[in-house]
Structure 1
Amino acid sequence: MRLAGTKTSERARRSRKNQSPEFTFDETTTPKVSQEKFLARDQNKNNLIQMLRRYFANTGIKEEQAFEDADTLIVTTAIKEASLHDSVEIVGEDIDLLVLICGLAMEKKNIFFHKPAKGKTPAKVYSPNCFKHDKSVLENILFIHAFSGCDTTSSFYNIGKSKFISTLEKNPNLRSSVELFKQEKVDPEMLACAGNLFLIALYGGRKEDTTMDILRLHRFAKSMTTSKTNNLSLLPPTESAVRQHVFWTYLQVQTWLGIFKDPQEWGWRQTNNGLEPICTTAAPAPPELLKLISCKCKGKCGAACGCRKAGIHCSVICLHCSGQTCDNVARVEILFNDDHDDDDDYDFSTVTTSFPAIEEVS
């Protein structure tokens, strides 16, 4: 029996961000709220799915409902149908669909992704061979997309997907390491090492920066002496945090490839609220330092909080809040990036020529 999926945590975060009531609606209802707010409530989404399934059944349209990752089901269904039809078109707004087409169906010439017009942005149609980057990047686009940030992995502060692409293009020696993420059986230690090597290159590490922690230390020391404004958010992540991120990435790539892995073996843990990511297994600072940093705030630990100023969350040693009843408590939702309009970070070419009649895959 499968556990609840890894997207549960992301859906919960979006639900908290876009709180919405439960709506009563039917086929004739005109929505008066945004799509994001409407779908943020699980019951609204479930009711909409059931309504669509009834409509499809009554009109003779074939449909399938995904257990967890609908994008994978859509693309794999399109691949299956491509051998039966002249052409197949996937209609959607999520760029994940196009990435999956490029990663899973690069040899198919009759599958297209149609991104509808939105506002002043015209509709665009893409094919599997629309990816204009180096072949080595196309062959590892699933890794690039997951490692740089998606629904189930964290994104890196102030670093876009194009930087990940250029890092792989400029460092051919990394390609064998990246290939590990597509292997069904792999040593976790080798995988963690591969992720570290990639990130050291991404952050422009030198030969002496043999680990992420060493690179982080060198960057911190440099920022203290050369920068007028020391933004700790720009520092590379710790090695312990990278390890978990690597595991999330591997799990997601394997999911896209249709291989089931137990999330609890790859960076996730089961809680009363479902699966949640393990952000790090290391303490935020040495015990000696943590003993010296605590606050005595009597309120919600706002901007004046000593812990907040030090860049750490409140803990059990804080006098009044104990790291539990204030606004400076660690929250999982800051990990994930909900921006799906990231196709500008990839270099795609659109299809401008006409093609045969298209079968929609829903």
Structure 2
Amino acid sequence: MGLAPPNINVFFMKPGRGKVETKLFSVRQLQQLEFSKSILLLHSFSGCDTTSAIHGKSKVGIAKLFTAKPDLTQNISDIFSGLSTSPESIEQAGEKLLLAIYQAPVQEQNLNKYRYSAFLRASMKPKSDLATLPPTRGASKQHSLRVYLQIQQWLGNPLPPTQWGWARGDDGILKPVTTNDPVAPESILNTIFCRCTTGCGVQCGCRKAGIACSRVCGVCSGSCTNGAPIENTVDDDVDDDILYLEDN
């Protein structure tokens, strides 16, 4: 739909079931929708083969946002469609779109601050699901970079994935970068330590918290199997780093 030439009409059939009749749609018909020019951004940002879905936010719900705020979403779509858009601009545009998806106040421009406000509201409820909180700015940045990479791939502009939200693991396979931020401020991490006496296995408190053991740990002092991982370097200039990401 987003890339179909104007002189070609493609038809889609949605099979009926029970009392629901079979429906036939055409590309030209769908291109009349308000968000037709932003369909690549809508599809990739809300989750496709190479990008994550947003917890609790359906494609239908996000499509309604695109319909209700066409000026905002079209402007952001233009940024993501630009071949020479900088990572900083992508990060800012992605954060703005996420704030709109989570219905943040218009004056709010910081995703971390809004996430904290949402956490305070959730903490007042008898039951709360932390997964429904908005993502952090760090996670938003990596998601937005992968969305940009996918849109450019659809537009025929392949880019090096390791510069746009992906990293190559020890096994050579590209894996999404969730965030480059620490799991918690250093002042808090320094208060977490284990007292394992038989090795830092699956029951290790540090391992459960998602951090490596350190010198403050009572027995292992960080010299265990859960010690600090070895950092890997990635050569972005290698031709093998070019991954062709396509949404089936």
Q: Would you say same fold, with TM above 0.5?
A: yes
Gap change, CA 1:208 and 1:139, over 3 Å in 2: closer
In 2, the alpha carbon distance for the partners of 1:112 and 1:228 equals 49
Which amino acid letter does the alignment assign opposite residue 103 of structure 2? G
Work out whether 1:313 is the aligned partner of 2:203. no
Which amino acid letter does the alignment assign opposite residue 67 of structure 2? E
**Superposition deviation, residue 178 in structure 1:** 2.0
Gap change, CA 1:307 and 1:258, over 3 Å in 2: same
In 2, the alpha carbon distance for the partners of 1:156 and 1:196 equals 13
Q: Percent identity?
A: 30
In 2, the alpha carbon distance for the partners of 1:222 and 1:117 equals 42
Q: Alpha-carbon deviations, 1:264-313, whole Å to 9, x = none?
A: 221112233321121111111101112223456776349xx6875xxx43
In 1, the alpha carbon distance for the partners of 2:11 and 2:143 equals 31
Name the structure 1 match of 2:137.
239
Give the one of 108, 117, 123 matched to 1:224: 123
Q: Alpha-carbon deviations, 1:164-192, whole Å to 9, x = none?
A: 21222222234212211111111221121
In 1, the alpha carbon distance for the partners of 2:7 and 2:23 equals 19
Q: Is this contact kept in 1: 2:102–2:134, CA < 8 A? A: yes
- Answer 1 or 2: higher relative contact order, Cα 8 Å, separation at least 6: 1
Name the structure 2 match of 1:79.
none
**Superposition deviation, residue 249 in structure 1:** 0.2
Give the one of 78, 101, 109 matched to 1:179: 78
In 1, the alpha carbon distance for the partners of 2:85 and 2:162 equals 16
TM-score by length of 2: 0.74
Name the structure 1 match of 2:234.
none
Higher helix share: 1
Aligned-pair Cα RMSD in Å: 3.3
In 1, the alpha carbon distance for the partners of 2:192 and 2:20 equals 50
Q: Is this contact kept in 2: 1:107–1:128, CA < 8 A? A: no
**Superposition deviation, residue 127 in structure 1:** 2.1
In 2, the alpha carbon distance for the partners of 1:243 and 1:276 equals 16
* Structure 2 unaligned residues grouped into runs of 5+: 229-246
In 2, the alpha carbon distance for the partners of 1:242 and 1:156 equals 10
Give the one of 273, 289, 304 matched to 2:188: 289
Which amino acid letter does the alignment assign opposite residue 65 of structure 2? T
Which amino acid letter does the alignment assign opposite residue 204 of structure 1? Q
Name the structure 1 match of 2:239.
none
Q: Is this contact kept in 1: 2:94–2:140, CA < 8 A? A: yes
In 2, the alpha carbon distance for the partners of 1:124 and 1:104 equals 22
In 2, the alpha carbon distance for the partners of 1:182 and 1:132 equals 17
Give the one of 207, 226, 244 matched to 1:322: 226
